[in-house]
């Protein structure tokens, strides 16, 4: 077998496409009629998108095609300055779904289990279920299936031929299984329902139809796996884009004076076949990866559109809260970085959109928002009590008046680096095991939104750095140094 590596040279090349090897899931339920929901409690459609950065039409991006998320934004509130609390999947989800901050001892990596890291916390789905909600998890919501014991009435994940990387072409399946390093993307002429996310959508539609008849309020959590690597998407979503318009990152170099702790070697991407073990990508390779990422965003956007359509068709849209979030940002070549796993804005800023009954939509909120704020927001919107352990603040006031300035900071953590974000400043400090700062970086988004010049080494900023360091330790949470067990 000779893998096709021409994509490294010519971004316009189309890979060989094999016949779809996975049986497609068809959706043939017919004759469904509108049925108003009888419950007084609002339902919740909770959409988690893996590795989605806020490059969407409703976030002001003119290249990415996201008409369905934009449609949701027109009837909801777009949080422009929403930040994940940990820029890696499992930990971000565990933090969000417990409504608590990461610490030195919990929510550390992609493989986080809530039940191991914070067994005393009542998770959002556990809380809703205890209070009368029918809870469903489809595909990746928590990172690990079976986590958060007792959280779900129904839990399901898609499956198919091959590995979790979910290739459909014969050539890519062969690379993945014989070399154990899959290609970083796939462009295949297949129906949407061939890939896992299409199957998840069909499953979610069937659940919505059943739930519309149940009379019980529901929490339907749907996880989409794209645009997480590998960038596998049906060809028609690749065809939306002109590679020349996608280009490459405008700041492909590390920031001036950034400490070495700020930069990583994007090991997640280097695991893929055809990616060099060391050094930067060629411009054409970078362009193709960005093209694949955007194709996956548009593919996921189309699936989200089908869910929104189904809420309308079943009469559920009016009494259903819709929350859409990406679990963290992603670097597409900025600072020479790929993937997440860092403390730059590209890794921490992520999409968050809320649509709720009685909330006038089509507005933006520029107040700083953290993902730990989602849990208490849903409690307030559903009239449920707040569990004692929550560390976030409800966003309901901001939903009602998006211009309000409420919270004025966010704190995000990755490994031993912790970032304090305020109105314009992004300050990160790295700690040693004795909790002493060993490195830092500071960016002022007013003058440097791309974070290209670290100001923390500048003597003019030394007093500010001292002050921010003190504030960071105050804001990072009371449990930051508390060891579990
Ligand atoms: Ca993720």
Q: How far is the CA of 343 from the centre of ligand 1 (A)?
A: 15
Q: How far is the CA of 281 from the centre of ligand 1 (A)?
A: 22
Report the DSSP pairing between strands 218-224 and 43-49: parallel
Q: How sure is the predictor about 483, in pLDDT bands with cuts at 50, 70 and 90?
A: confident
Residue 287 buriedness (CB in 10 A; 0-12 / 13-18 / 19+): buried
187 close to 15: Cβ distance less than 8 angstroms? yes
What is the per-residue pLDDT across 450-472, written as a single tens digit (0 to 9) for each?
A: 999 999 999 999 999 999 999 99
What pLDDT, on a 0 to 100 scale, did the predictor assign at position 218? 98
Instruction: Supply the DSSP symbol for 386.
Output: P
Q: How far is the CA of 112 from the centre of ligand 1 (A)?
A: 12
Report the DSSP pairing between strands 352-355 and 320-326: antiparallel
What is the per-residue pLDDT across 79-122, written as a single tens digit (0 to 9) for each?
A: 999 999 999 999 999 999 999 999 999 999 999 999 999 999 99
Higher pLDDT, 181 or 46: 46
Does the pLDDT at position 38 exceed 90? no
What is the per-residue pLDDT across 401-419, written as a single tens digit (0 to 9) for each?
A: 999 888 899 999 999 999 9
CA distance 308 to 361: 15
Query: What's the Rg (C-alpha) of the chain?
Result: 22
165 close to 73: Cβ distance less than 8 angstroms? no
Q: How far is the CA of 340 from the centre of ligand 1 (A)?
A: 8
Residue 68: which of 403, 312, 332, 426 has the closest Cα? 312
Q: How far is the CA of 88 from the centre of ligand 1 (A)?
A: 6
Q: How far is the CA of 421 from the centre of ligand 1 (A)?
A: 21
383 close to 39: Cβ distance less than 8 angstroms? no
- Helix, strand, coil shares of the chain, percent, nearest 5, are 30, 15, 50
What pLDDT, on a 0 to 100 scale, did the predictor assign at position 202? 98
Q: How far is the CA of 49 from the centre of ligand 1 (A)?
A: 8
Question: In 99-108, which positions are buried (b, 16+ CB within 10 angstroms) versus exposed (e)?
Answer: bbbbbbebbb
Q: How far is the CA of 116 from the centre of ligand 1 (A)?
A: 20
DSSP-derived secondary structure for 38-61: --SSPEEEEEEETT--S-SGGGT-
Q: How far is the CA of 214 from the centre of ligand 1 (A)?
A: 32
Q: pTM above 0.85?
A: yes
186 close to 9: Cβ distance less than 8 angstroms? no
Average pLDDT value for the chain? 92
Q: How far is the CA of 330 from the centre of ligand 1 (A)?
A: 9
């Amino acid at each position: 077998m000779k893998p096709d590596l021409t994509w490294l040279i010519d971004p316009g090349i189309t890979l060989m496409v094999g016949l779809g090897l996975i049986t497609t899931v068809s959706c043939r339920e017919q004759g469904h009629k509108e049925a108003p929901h009888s419950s007084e409690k609002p339902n919740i459609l909770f959409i988690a998108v893996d590795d989605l950065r806020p490059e969407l039409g409703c976030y002001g991006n003119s290249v990415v095609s996201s008409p369905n998320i934009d449609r949701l934004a027109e009837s909801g509130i777009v949080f422009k300055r929403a930040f994940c609390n940990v820029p890696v999947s499992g930990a971000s989800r565990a933090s969000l779904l417990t409504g608590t901050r990461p610490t030195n001892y919990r929510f550390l990596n992609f493989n986080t289990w809530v039940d191991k890291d914070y067994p005393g916390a009542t998770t959002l789905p556990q809380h809703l279920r205890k209070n009368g909600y029918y809870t469903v998890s489809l595909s990746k919501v928590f990172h690990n299936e079976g986590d958060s014991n007792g959280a779900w009435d129904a839990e399901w994940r898609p499956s198919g031929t091959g590995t979790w990387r979910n290739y459909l072409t014969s050539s890519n399946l062969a690379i993945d299984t014989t070399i154990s390093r899959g290609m970083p993307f796939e462009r295949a002429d297949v129906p949407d329902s061939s890939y896992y996310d299409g199957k998840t959508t069909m499953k979610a539609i069937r659940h919505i139809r059943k739930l519309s008849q149940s009379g019980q309020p529901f929490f339907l959590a749907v996880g989409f796996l794209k645009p997480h690597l590998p960038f596998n998407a049906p060809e028609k979503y690749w065809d939306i884009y002109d590679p020349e318009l996608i280009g490459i990152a405008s700041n492909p170099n590390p920031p001036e004076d950034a400490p070495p702790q700020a930069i990583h070697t994007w090991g997640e991407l280097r695991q893929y076949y055809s990616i060099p073990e060391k050094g930067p990508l060629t411009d054409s390779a970078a362009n193709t990866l960005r093209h694949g990422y955007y194709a996956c965003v548009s593919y996921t956007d189309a699936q989200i559109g089908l869910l929104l359509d189904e809420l309308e068709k079943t009469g559920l849209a009016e009494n259903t809260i819709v929350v859409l979030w990406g679990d963290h940002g992603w670097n597409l070549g900025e600072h020479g970085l790929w993937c997440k796993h860092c403390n730059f804005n590209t890794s921490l800023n992520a999409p968050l959109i809320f649509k709720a009954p009685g909330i006038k939509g089509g507005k933006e909120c520029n107040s700083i928002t953290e993902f730990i704020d989602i849990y208490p927001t849903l409690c307030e919107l559903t009239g449920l009590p707040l569990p004692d352990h929550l560390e976030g603040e409800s966003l309901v006031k901001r939903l009602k008046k998006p211009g309000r300035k409420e919270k004025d900071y966010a704190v995000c953590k990755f490994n031993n680096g912790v970032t304090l974000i305020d109105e314009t400043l992004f300050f990160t400090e790295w700690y040693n095991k004795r909790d002493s700062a060993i490195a830092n970086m500071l960016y002022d988004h007013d003058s440097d939104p791309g974070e290209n010049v670290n100001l923390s080494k500048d003597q003019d900023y030394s007093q500010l750095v001292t002050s921010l360091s003190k504030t960071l330790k105050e804001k990072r949470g009371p449990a930051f140094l508390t060891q579990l067990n």
